[in-house]
Amino acid sequence: MRNVLSGMLLFVALGALASRRLDGPRLAAPAAGRREASRPEAGAPMIPVKGVVAAQLKSTFNEGRAGHLHHAIDILAPRGTPVIAAVDGTVRKLFVSRAGGITLYEYDLAGERSYYYAHLDAYAPGIREGLAVHQGDVLGYVGTTGNAPANTPHLHFAIDVLPPTKEWWKGEPIDPYPILTTSASELR
């Protein structure tokens, strides 16, 4: 009986080895119609605040702000939470302004869109203009600089389609909310 059990275990073990790929571990594929959690579709922007998921986002694009439309999304998170690159791209401009406080402009690899990160508490070490960044790289940290309420740390995040002249201040705003909630985070 012992030999039969040993033989069966060896048979099962050999079968498992034969079914494994030799170039790495096998990963179960997501069920049809599902995406892996926290992984945006290829080329799609990811939620630019570490640990925030789509269900936590609120559309604020068309809300009024001191005489103008918001044209961005505010992503609330604790002060100091890492702000990450939404896409692969290049840091084009580091800027401090009265309204946005500590800000960063990132262009995508094609130079077609600008991604604006504002109210940062600080930049991440090594961040500089011209730096190539990859989706998920830490750019800075959530804060309340500029005109953000001191008790409401958040990332003001905007996406603009750049004009042919590539001026970061002249882009055409597009609503980040449907982009971030469609492309990112949760299994469906």
Compute how many other C-beta atoms are within 10 angstroms of the C-beta atom of residue 153: 20
Give domain 54-183's CATH number out of 2.70.70.10, 3.30.310.50, 3.90.480.20, 3.40.50.2300: 2.70.70.10
Residue-wise DSSP of 27-91 = -PPPPTT---TT-PPTTPPPPSBTT--GGG----TT-EETTEE--SEEEE--TTPEEE-SSSEEE
Residue type (1 letter), 131: L
Helix (H, G, I), strand (E, B) or coil at 147: coil
Domain range annotation of the chain = 54-183
Give the phi and the psi of residue 72 in degrees, each rounded to 5: -160, 180
Q: What is the pLDDT of residues 101-121, one digit of tens each?
A: 999 999 999 999 999 999 999
Q: What is the pLDDT of residues 117-138, one digit of tens each?
A: 999 999 999 999 999 999 999 9
User: To the nearest whole number, what is the mean pLDDT of the chain?
Assistant: 79
| Per-residue pLDDT at 165 | 94
Q: What is the pLDDT of residues 145-183, one digit of tens each?
A: 999 999 999 999 999 999 999 988 889 999 999 999 985
pTM for this prediction: 0.74
